[in-house]
Amino acid sequence: MTRELHLNLFIHARGHHEAAWRHPAASPLPLTDIRYYQDLAQRAEAGLFDSIFLADQLALGDDVAHAPRTWLEPITVLAALAGATSRIGLIATASTTYTEPFNLARQFASLDHISGGRVGWNIVTSWLAAAAGNYGGERQLSHAERYARAEEFMQVVTALWDSWADDAVLDDRASGTYADPRGIRPINHQGAYYRVAGPLNLPRGPQGRPVLVQAGSSDTGRRFAARHAEAVFTAHQEKAAAREFYADLKALAAAEGRAPEQVLVLPGLSPVIGSTEAEAQRIARELNDLSDPEVGRKRLSGRFGGHDFSHLPLDRPLSPEDFPDPGTVEAARSRTEVILGLVRREGLTLRQLLHRLAGARGHYTMAGTPEQVAALIEDWFLAGAADGFNVMPAVLPGMLDTFVAEVVPILQRRGLFRREYAGRTLRAHYGLPRPPVRPAPAARPDLAAE
């Protein structure tokens, strides 16, 4: 079977460059205006993208005075986007750390019904230290504890989605029978973190379960993805590192008894596109010139769990010793390793590093022509570094429009990307099967509370 390239639009603020909100090509609409998100989703659907994706953050950043990163709550937004689109997949982020499994399972099952089977869940184990204070916690959970909680969370939500048989709803008005109770079962989960009786209080969705997406690239994150994820958003600065990650994740999935082709790897790509390379470089410089280094310094601190970088001069080359050991960081550990890799390879100054991170927070950035962007996508796809890309336009909607109008046709002419949607669900777009109802899980005494 011929592989098909997959494209997801990652909607973030007015674009993925931290200064995008100031650029004239950015949307004039407020970030709290639902028309902004509906318009972007419709533009991506016109470009035949597989899906759109909304991230989330559970605390207000301390750089809000100069960096408008606020956005509407993503699950709510997906409900509005479902009515404004008809084919494109809709993926929202929700935390296993600060969400109850029953609530989340119910919300995503509802969205799957509302959208006609187009919803996906980006699973996160919230790493932002400030989020703990908003959810009654006195401390940030450790990296290991977040993933232990997430493993049990996945057992619960999967059991809830499978607590209704596909044919449980009869809706037989003549006989007066709405549902066959033999097709509905409790889950009676008792574990270390959750006690959930079930069953879910609404029927199974059109996709059976939402498409499961995950973005962790640490060793623990990879193993979690190999067990659960059907699409993986990841960040790499080099094709070689992307190929290593791709091969490792596929092997881990196979070791879990899963088909490797049913775990899609989608690295982040943030292109600045111009009619010439010189024009693209000029736009990239414009964006960097609009960025505030102190905003970047605060974001860097957040990535390293609040580490203080205020003493570092902007124009001295950095060394790994200027950073804490990633193994001691309880935040997004995989991204700290990406940042340190940049420092080791390129000897960047702090100002240069902040410019690189301003573009897409550690994802791959480039400035070039449509042909150069398409060539990079094709190269990584054919080289076994990606199944597609999480497209992160530097400025929205301007760079999305350019990508759809000029990059997508090149990919289509090269036989890499669809010319029309073949299916109506996100699983169909991604080439994923509809999962059958799993048998009731056996009791897990190792997860029971003491």
Q: Is 56 flagged in the annotation as binding?
A: yes
How far apart (Å, rounded) are the C-alpha atoms in residues 336 and 130? 18
Q: What is the DSSP letter of 208?
A: B
What is the end-to-end Cα distance of the chain in Å, rounded? 50
Q: Are β-strands 189-190 and 195-196 bridged in parallel, bridged antiparallel, or unpaired?
A: antiparallel
How far apart (Å, rounded) are the C-alpha atoms in residues 281 and 376? 17
Q: Are β-strands 388-391 and 264-273 bridged in parallel, bridged antiparallel, or unpaired?
A: parallel
Q: Is 336 flagged in the annotation as binding?
A: no
To which H or E segment does residue 284 belong? helix 277-290
Q: Is 217 flagged in the annotation as binding?
A: yes
Q: Is 93 flagged in the annotation as binding?
A: yes
Binding residues: 56, 93, 143, 147, 217-218
Binding residues for FMN: 56, 93, 143, 147, 217-218
